[in-house]
Structure 1
Amino acid sequence: MLQSDKELLDRNILPSEQKSFSPLAKDWWNKKNGPACVIHDMNDFRIKLIFDYLISTGVLKPWQRNQPDALQGLKILDLGCGGGILTEPLARLKAQMTGIDPNEDLIAVAKEHIEPQKDISDNVVYLTETIEEHCEKFSNYYDLVICSEVLDHVPDRKSILVAASKVLKNGGSIFVSTFNKTFWSWFLAIVCGEYILRVIPRGSHHYNMFISPQEVSDILKELNFKTKSLKGFLYNLITRKFYVHNWIGFSYALHAVKGKENLIE
């Protein structure tokens, strides 16, 4: 059933996002030159950061980093999972994964892609819903919430973070990655990425949707989180690799932990 623009906005969904991403869904798993190829390239980088964060809070031991079942027993929410690009490799590491996205077409692709992979399909649940809807059913449930490349696609960023805090257990972590709100993020992501180099689908991002790490950190502080790590990262178009950089003027990765009393200093 098609929803009106007002109904979508009431669910914290930008109508233009639904309309622009649905036609791209069928080619979502084309790692070489599909519409999500840069997100595919980002996977190794994101997984490394996730291990860094979980080790820093004592959830994992350093020696577990290279274990095939390293995430066994952890409940992880991939918020805005799209077609499941990050959900699948984390499930392969034995995490109990839940992927949510309000886009029916992307969730359909995610389900279709994982269905024949019997070794991990039992570890994944995909749901077509927003985090605001999800938090009503799963309070204090997850060990980790991943909010990667999501905040720059929703009208109300604070609503996303409030709902994410509700589903996290006390002591749980949130991983946020997104674009900073600077001239350089506009120039590199939109002007270069979308219009000159065309490595990102045109119209995917809007500068007024970008958010600074300070604003994210301030919102999380209100929700009883403490920011533990803030790193910039860049993308090498030649090697197709992401890497950590001290400069946060373009993109950044932020890690925060819920419940100050549970922090390991």
Structure 2
Amino acid sequence: IQKSIQASASYLSELDKLKKVKVLSTISIKVQQRSKADSMDASYTSGLFKGGDGTTFILEGDPFANSAGTVLTYLQGKVAGLNIAGSGSQVSLSWRGGTPLLYLNEMQQQVDQVQSIPLSDVAMIKVFRPPFFGGLGGGSGGAIAIYLKKGGSRNENVRGLNFANVAGYSPVREFYSPDYAQADQSTEAGDYRTTLYWNPYVITDKTHRRILLPFYNNDITRKMKIIIEGCNAEGKLTRVEKIFE
């Protein structure tokens, strides 16, 4: 009986604890998705160029970027108060009585250097309203920061231009030519080489007009085609083809 009373007391104690537990109402978690401009700003900018009071232009997907030609032509009429006049390297900038500073990947540049940048290589342009405290002299005319695309995001499909991916130069390789005078070069397998000899470094002069070029024939050739190509000291080219039986 005593054990039964203790079990009942324990049960009542646990039941009392459950009564004191409060069930919270439904919790709603709201996540704000980062805009593309914010993502680009986080990826490309640093220091005083990050955030700030400015306007960001993302050139990817902007049809006007393909026809504008230059960065400053693209910005004409897009930023209130920013005056851009002229074209090419003769363009002039003014904003609230000052001249905006120009930056390429956060390094200060001159107008002609900025105007030579293809828009197809530009990922983002960030225009800072005056004053821009990241510039020399307080940046009384504001600033224009241009960011080039990173390696993996370069656009190779630019209308009107042809692109090709070049793997690079091949390392120097020595042309294989067997030396059957040595025992370890002999083999029972047949020799079916199609090119018997190739040497790009044959140099002649007045004292060495004839040069001996020894090589071994293969097992099947009875007729040889000899091709000689070269140039003289004046850069004149020559090519000779002959067949020997």
Q: TM-score, normalised by structure 2?
A: 0.21
Q: Which has the higher helix share?
A: 1
Q: TM-score, normalised by structure 1?
A: 0.20
Q: Which has the higher contact order (CA 8 A, sep 6+)?
A: 1
